[in-house]
């Protein structure tokens, strides 16, 4: 069943979580279940000298990959609403990088579809993180490397 409301936001602006939440929950009364996942720049990393990170993406391709992931989710689960928002540009510790919200009839489809979207986003969507560390007055930039444990998350969806 085609999802009636599917939205992708890629922005340099700080994510307005209250607004994003309200978009997902506005139809919850009719649908029963909504799940929201947010991922942020870990504050604990600032103890290791992390001052922030820069997120780069491939404009055009990122949007079409995310659209494809959301379409796949809409085919697998009956959903009323899917919203994905992702930051690009410079972020400081504690800021939200990604928001995924799904809304459907029951909790199972809301939970599973949100996890499916995050797993595919992490493995397929053309975003790259560069961490900025500050130690002894020197700035050191490190491109984050992809992790095998993220690749492994896709196995459960292949059946």
Q: By the 8 A CB rule, do 80 and 27 touch?
A: yes
Query: Which residues, numbered 76-115, are part of the site for other proteins (CB under 8 A)?
Result: 86, 97-98
Closest approach of other proteins to the CB of residue 153, in Å: 11
Structure tokens of 31?
A: 């649908």
Does residue 144 touch other proteins according to CB under 8 A?
A: yes
Rounded Cα gap, residues 144 and 146, in angstroms: 7
Q: How far is CA 155 from CA 9, 23, 50, in A?
A: 27, 31, 32
Residues 88, 89, 95, 97, Cα dihedral to 10°: 20
Map residues 35-64 to x or -, x wherever contact with other proteins holds by CB under 8 A.
----x---------------xxxx-xx--x
Closest approach of other proteins to the CB of residue 4, in Å: 25
Q: Which residues bind other proteins (CB under 8 A)?
A: 39, 55-58, 60-61, 64, 86, 97-98, 118, 121-130, 143-146
């Amino acid at each position: 069943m085609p999802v009636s409301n599917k939205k992708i936001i890629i922005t340099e602006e700080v994510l307005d979580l209250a607004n994003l939440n309200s978009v997902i929950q506005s139809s919850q009364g009719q649908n029963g279940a909504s799940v929201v996942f947010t991922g942020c720049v870990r504050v604990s990393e600032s103890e290791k000298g992390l001052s922030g990170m820069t997120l780069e993406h491939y404009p055009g391709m990122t949007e079409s990959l995310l659209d494809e992931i959301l379409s796949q989710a809409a085919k697998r689960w009956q959903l009323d609403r899917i919203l994905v928002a992702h930051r690009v540009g410079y972020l400081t510790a504690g800021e939200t990088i990604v928001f995924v919200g799904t809304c459907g009839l029951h909790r199972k489809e809301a939970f599973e579809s949100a996890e499916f979207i995050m797993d595919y986003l992490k493995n397929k969507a053309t975003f790259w993180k560069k961490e900025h560390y500050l130690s002894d007055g020197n700035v050191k930039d490190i491109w984050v490397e992809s992790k095998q444990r993220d690749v492994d998350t896709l196995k459960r969806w292949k059946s």
